[in-house]
């Protein structure tokens, strides 16, 4: 089944925890069939949350996203409207508890986990992830809220104070447990009353917050404060808004998928706004042009990949992560913005031609890398929880 060197391993008995019928599970099952393997057994997140999930000896268990299901979202977040932004603190507590419960059940049954629940708890807290990366020597944007011991942020006044104390006139203010740019504000300050925030958050007349596909700009400090004050109970992370490189006049960053320790897939994301997420108007850029730009700047594309692998190495018990890398305008310096536990949803993207996953999508590459994961496990790698 493997496209990697080193011989054939016994075929795994695959089980995937996710949302049955969801596009993520469909893409994974397509890769399983293409590899000539028996279909993965599917365990729904609803069954996990209701205590009905069971695992068997010898199974290889992959944990996938609990997103895009209204009932799962209601159980995790306590909200009936999936477009609402609030409730991520409750979501985090319930998700991490459920992941740990299923992890204990799988381990007790003699199954192998591809995703460590304790690492998931770090990956889904931007403050903890930032602290782990910084402690490991990975270059990250400056942050006054980094790590487990960072200051609590109770609202806009705290954001203002922490930005000023850190010397930041531009910062990203993020909900600690968010994803897909939900609840992210790109904030500029220039003295009392001079504030702007670019965000996909829509604030309605009742003070409720909704995710929108349209990025907008607020210039009234009272509106910015209202959004931040509403988000603060869920936990906030503040980090430096660093200038980024560009491609064809659009801001650019990279999503790099790292599987079993190796960077395998890269997508250039470009946008006219500070958020390059593809669902918010971002577009896939030109990877060949990116390579040429890096070379012309005196840099090395392999060094870029090594930096993402260094970030992923902080989470050795998680089979696949997506690393968001920020290039400086010079394309000679880089910083890791985030590491995403479920950062592999990149339909149609195939692996780098010079890497083991050439011609494979992200799901097929994860299957092909299972033998190498076993070799890494035998080398004594441990989850990153001791770094927190």
Q: Identify which of 256, 283, 237 has the alpha carbon closest to the alpha carbon of residue 343.
A: 256
Q: Identify which of 272, 271, 274 has the alpha carbon closest to the alpha carbon of residue 337.
A: 274
Predicted pLDDT of residue 79: 86
Predicted pLDDT of residue 2: 42
Sheet holding 185-189, edge to edge: 209-218, 195-203, 185-189, 170-175, 236-240
253 strand-pairing partners: 269
User: What residue ranges in the chain does DSSP mark as E strands?
Assistant: 13-18, 41-44, 59-63, 112-113, 170-175, 185-189, 195-203, 209-218, 236-240, 246-247, 250-259, 262-271, 283-284, 320-327, 334-340
The tens-digit pLDDT sequence of the chain (388 residues) is: 444 444 455 678 999 999 999 999 999 999 999 999 999 999 999 999 999 999 999 999 999 999 999 999 999 999 889 999 999 999 999 999 999 999 999 999 999 999 999 999 999 999 999 999 999 999 999 999 999 999 999 999 999 999 999 999 999 999 999 998 899 999 999 877 799 999 999 999 999 999 999 999 999 999 999 999 999 999 999 999 999 999 999 999 999 999 999 999 999 999 999 999 888 889 999 999 999 999 999 999 999 999 999 999 999 999 999 999 999 999 999 999 999 999 999 999 999 999 999 999 999 999 999 998 766 654 445 445 433 3
What residues contact 157, with CB distance under 8 A and at least 6 apart?
none
CA angle 376, 344, 176 (to 5 degrees): 95
Whole-angstrom distance, CA of residue 318 vs CA of residue 257 = 12
For residues 312 and 321, is the Cβ–Cβ distance under 8 A? yes
Predicted pLDDT of residue 281: 86
Predicted pLDDT of residue 24: 98
How far is the first Cα of the chain from the last one, in angstroms, to the nearest whole number? Answer: 36
Predicted pLDDT of residue 5: 43
- Domain coordinates of the chain in residue numbers? 13-114, 156-240, 243-387
pTM, entire model: 0.94
Whole-angstrom distance, CA of residue 388 vs CA of residue 369 = 28
Write out the two tokens for 104: 């204990």
Predicted pLDDT of residue 39: 98
Residue 120 to residues 1, 97, 377: CA-CA distances in angstroms?
Answer: 27, 11, 18
Whole-angstrom distance, CA of residue 375 vs CA of residue 379 = 7
Predicted pLDDT of residue 377: 57
Q: What is the residue-wise DSSP string for 370-381?
A: HHHHHHHHHTT-
For residues 105 and 52, is the Cβ–Cβ distance under 8 A? no
Predicted pLDDT of residue 210: 95
Predicted pLDDT of residue 191: 72
For residues 246 and 329, is the Cβ–Cβ distance under 8 A? yes
The DSSP letter of residue 115 is B
Q: Please name the fold of domain 243-387.
A: D-amino Acid Aminotransferase; Chain A, domain 1 (3.30.470)
Predicted pLDDT of residue 380: 47
User: What residue ranges in 93-240 does DSSP mark as E strands?
Assistant: 112-113, 170-175, 185-189, 195-203, 209-218, 236-240
Q: What is the residue-wise DSSP string for 242-278?
A: ----EETTEEEEEEEEEETTEEEEEEEEEESSS---G
Task: Please give the helix or strand (H or E) that residue 29 lies within, else none.
Answer: helix 23-34
Q: Identify which of 180, 148, 143 has the alpha carbon closest to the alpha carbon of residue 159.
A: 143
User: Which backbone phi and psi does 286 adopt, to 5 degrees?
Assistant: -100, 110
What residues contact 323, with CB distance under 8 A and at least 6 apart?
255, 256, 257, 258, 263, 308, 311, 312, 336, 338, 339, 340, 343
């Amino acid at each position: 089944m493997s496209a990697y060197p080193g011989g054939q391993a016994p075929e795994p008995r695959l089980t995937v925890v996710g949302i049955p019928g969801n596009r993520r599970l469909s893409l994974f099952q397509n890769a399983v069939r293409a590899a000539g393997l028996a279909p993965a057994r599917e365990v729904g997140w609803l069954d996990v949350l209701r205590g009905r999930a069971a695992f068997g000896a010898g199974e290889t268990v992959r944990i996938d996203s609990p997103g895009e299901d209204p009932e799962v979202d209601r159980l995790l977040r306590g909200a009936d409207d999936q477009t609402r932004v609030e409730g991520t603190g409750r979501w985090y507590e319930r998700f991490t508890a459920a992941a740990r419960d299923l992890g204990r059940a799988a381990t007790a049954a003699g199954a192998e986990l591809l995703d460590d629940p304790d690492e998931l708890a770090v990956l889904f807290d931007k403050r903890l992830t930032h602290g782990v990366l910084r402690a490991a020597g990975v270059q990250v944007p400056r942050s006054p809220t980094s790590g487990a011991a960072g200051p609590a942020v109770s609202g806009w006044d705290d954001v203002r104070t922490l930005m000023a104390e850190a010397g930041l006139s531009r910062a990203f203010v993020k909900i600690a447990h968010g994803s897909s740019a939900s609840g992210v504000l790109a904030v500029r300050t220039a003295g009392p009353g001079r504030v702007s925030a670019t965000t996909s958050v829509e604030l309605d007349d009742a003070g409720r917050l909704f995710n929108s596909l349209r990025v907008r700009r607020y210039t009234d400090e009272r509106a910015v404060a209202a959004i931040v004050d509403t988000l603060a109970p869920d936990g906030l992370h503040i980090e430096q808004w660093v200038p980024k490189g560009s491609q064809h006049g659009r801001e650019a960053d990279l999503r790099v998928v790292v599987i079993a320790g190796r960077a395998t897939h890269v997508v250039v994301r470009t946008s006219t706004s500070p958020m390059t997420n593809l669902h918010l108007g971002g577009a896939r850029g030109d990877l060949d042009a990116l390579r040429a730009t890096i070379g012309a700047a005196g840099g090395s594309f392999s060094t870029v990949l090594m930096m993402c692998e260094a970030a992923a190495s902080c989470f050795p018990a998680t089979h696949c992560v997506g690393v968001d890398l920020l290039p400086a305008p010079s394309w000679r310096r880089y910083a890791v913005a985030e590491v995403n536990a479920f950062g592999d949803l990149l339909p149609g993207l195939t692996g780098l031609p010079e890497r083991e996953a050439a011609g494979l999508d992200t799901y097929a590459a994860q299957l092909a890398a299972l033998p190498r994961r076993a070799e890494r496990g035998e080398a004594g790698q441990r989850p990153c929880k001791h770094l927190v």
